Amino acid sequence: MPRLWPRHTRRSDSPAPADAEPLPVWDCHCHILPGLDDGPAGMDTALDMVRMASAHGTRAMIATPHAIQGLYGTRRPQVLRALAELRQRCADQGLAVELYPGQEVALTPDLAERLAAGEILTLADAGRALLVELPQSGVPPYWTQAFFRLALDGVTPIVAHAERTPLLGDPELAARMIEHGARLQINARVLRAGGRIRRTVREWLRRDWVACVGSDGHDLGRRPPVLDEALRERLHVPAIRASLERPGVL
Ligand SMILES: [Fe+2]
């Protein structure tokens, strides 16, 4: 896999010289590739999204177009092609954000088989973690089998925007998924929430269940590719800092 970040990257608690490279900031969930799903329709908007992410401090993004059978049938080769084109266009325009391929894959019983068949992509194509979208209406019982088979292949299922899934209201199910080797991805903007959502997400962070943070950006308006809320809390919440700097998916 490609080099993900310079080995000499400093920890944020180390004294950094004035000319130090910027700290890594990873957006692990973003619909940035044009024309593949409900993200940007065209290349110009995709480039504007990368520009916006960069202006807000993001240094690396994992492109995670939907893979939903029957709706967005995006497969690995299409994602890699679209990513190569976006990378090239970013390089042409001097945009320094590093881009990696991935997918947000709707839960099916055969995730491991689809991965082995080269149909779907792990995060950053690193072979370590798969971003899995759970149905919002309820999690089918076959999740245990699907997660178990991924684990046999050394792949960690990462529950996409866990705060928008049935896990939010079902701590027992969340704990079972963690016991089955899963970890969670949260969207940065949930850190602004109050009440029960806030308490639940803080508990996930405290228990170190959160592997990574994402923008789940889709566009330049309602769902922008920014991590502002996470960056604001980065210095105060170690789990957020770790998720941004060394996502547990790589
Ligand atoms: Fe998403």
Digit-coded pLDDT (tens) for 46-93: 999 999 999 999 999 999 999 998 889 889 999 999 999 999 999 999
Report CA torsion sign: 166, 33, 191, 144.
positive
Arithmetic mean of pLDDT over the chain: 90
Report how far residue 84's alpha carbon sits from residue 52's, in angstroms, rounded to the nearest whole number: 20
The answer to whether residue 3 scores a pLDDT higher than 50 is no
Domain 26-245 class?
alpha beta
Report how far residue 130's alpha carbon sits from residue 183's, in angstroms, rounded to the nearest whole number: 10
- Between the CA of 191 and the centroid of ligand 1 the distance, in Å, is 17
With cut-offs at 50, 70 and 90, classify the pLDDT of residue 21. Answer: low
pLDDT of amino acid 248: 76
Residues with CB under 5 A from ligand 1 (ion): 104, 216
pLDDT of amino acid 222: 94
- Between the CA of 163 and the centroid of ligand 1 the distance, in Å, is 12
Helix, strand, coil percentages in the chain from 3-state DSSP, rounded to 5: 40, 15, 45
Task: Determine the average pLDDT of the residues in 18-24.
Answer: 61
With cut-offs at 50, 70 and 90, classify the pLDDT of residue 124. Answer: very high
- Between the CA of 197 and the centroid of ligand 1 the distance, in Å, is 19
- Between the CA of 72 and the centroid of ligand 1 the distance, in Å, is 12
The full set of domain ranges for the chain reads 26-245
Q: Give bridge partners of residue 156 from the DSSP assignment.
A: 129
- Between the CA of 39 and the centroid of ligand 1 the distance, in Å, is 9
Nearest to 247 by CA among 213, 200, 204: 213
Q: Which of the two residues, 248 and 140, has the higher pLDDT score?
A: 140
- Between the CA of 52 and the centroid of ligand 1 the distance, in Å, is 18
